[in-house]
Amino acid sequence: MTNLTIHSSERTLFGTDGIRGIANTWPMDSQAALMAGKAIAAWFKQDQRRHKIVIGKDTRLSGYMIETALASGLVAMGVDVYLVGPLPTPGIAFITSGMRADAGVMISASHNSYEYNGVKIFDRSGFKLDDAAEYQIEQYMKQADSLEKYLACPQKLGKAYRIDDAVGRYVVYLKSSFPRALTLDGLRIVVDCANGATYKVAPEVFSELGADVHPVGVSPNGMNINLGVGSTDTALAQRRVQEIGADLGIALDGDGDRLILIDENGKIVDGDAVLAFVGRHLLEHGKLTNNTVVATVTSNLGLDFAIQSSGGTVERTDVGDRYVAQRMREVGSNFGGESSGHLIFMDESTTGDGTLAALQILQVMQESGKPLSTLASLMEPIPQITKNLSIIRKIPFSEMPEISNLTKKIEQKLKGRGRVLLRYSGTEDLIRILLEGEDKTQLQVYADELTDILQRMLGE
């Protein structure tokens, strides 16, 4: 809706994945949510027709508060609201697109503990808003007076509706993404739902497709989301896989948009390994469009080597699954993701979806006839050293020739088998340092040299 070019650093409320904060404090209190509702409505309300926006949430106690205030702000602007209750983030993208709604709003803080909450926004096509749109919504929130002109007169106030069959619609959609010629009969699967938004959906999907499902983290009480369960704490699911001799474990996060896999031996399989073996499988079957996998700048260089060995390429973008989705659309790729487990299968979904991704991975396992541990071994990770350095100033790298020259020198010594990545945190006073190469001892020497210079230039 705008031609503005906005960088993520220009936004102060929106971070990598929406607005996020501690519940009942700005910007996650009732007042902020009310303003956010009005601001979102003002952004999407560009003409006089009746508008509708879908609102979903995960299982956090504060979701009731945010949902009510957000809906109030939208209704006050003459927008009709459709409340779907607890549903995974990708489910909101699906429902929004299917209902031809103007936008979808998900209330969730993803993998964070219950004290936090957040707001993520999807456009009418089910894609997350770009930086420019989020920037404009921020401006509305910061200039409350500018919203007054959009307030509806009494006879044009919006209405609020409840959608009772959203979970059923989403379950049917997920099952339809799995080939009819295949079933999950005979597979024993541990499904950890993190006491979050997938607690109903995921076990039902896998069970109805024939799997012997052993659920974990399916008893949400408003305060136990991600607590000792889910993708951020997989120990329980790993033990369960080993105890029952499961074929694999699937650990989802609080809002269900990403997953961490556990192989039949109880070992973690991260997102990079999945990108590698699924990407290669798609390449070998002629199903990877433009022979390109999209990953972020933090994915291991071993991913590039694995995909290149099968004739494909890896395209990299900024951290954040919405940036992955954006780049996929730009280069015409149908598969991409992050090492954190956000995986996007663009032929099936517009955003990261942990349950859908698990179904696609199960399809690869069945078509290849290989267990997860064997598939995961197709990528050989390159040794990495990472470090977060506290700083007091952020200077553009282009204005620090000493750093630029040292980075080039190090990468020349790595001879194409390693790299250096420096990036500022978007939310904290940190610089993130990443080095990859085959000799970890030498990498540590390079890391120490970079750290000393960066501390001198950016620290106290």
Q: Which of 62, 108, 110, 333 is labelled catalytic?
A: 110
CA 168, 88, 171: angle at the middle one, nearest 5? 25
Do the beta carbons of residue 369 and residue 275 sit within 8 Å?
no
State the DSSP code for 128.
B
User: How does strand 248-252 pair with strand 259-262?
Assistant: antiparallel
State the DSSP code for 300.
-
Do the beta carbons of residue 342 and residue 352 sit within 8 Å?
yes
Alpha-carbon separation of residue 235 from 27, 195, 222, 251, 410 (angstroms): 33, 15, 22, 10, 37
Do the beta carbons of residue 246 and residue 189 sit within 8 Å?
yes
3-class DSSP state for residue 360?
helix
Distance CA 306, CA 293 (A): 11
Tokens of 15: 């971070």
β-bridge mates for residue 82, sequence order: 54, 161
Distance CA 52, CA 354 (A): 27
3-class DSSP state for residue 314?
strand
Distance CA 1, CA 414 (A): 44
Nearest alpha carbon to residue 1 among 114, 102, 142, 149:
102
Tokens of 275: 């990108």
User: What DSSP letter does each residue of 31-66 carry, written as one string?
Assistant: HHHHHHHHHHHHHH--SSS-EEEEEEE-S-TTHHHH
Catalytic residue status for 207 = no
Active site residues: 110
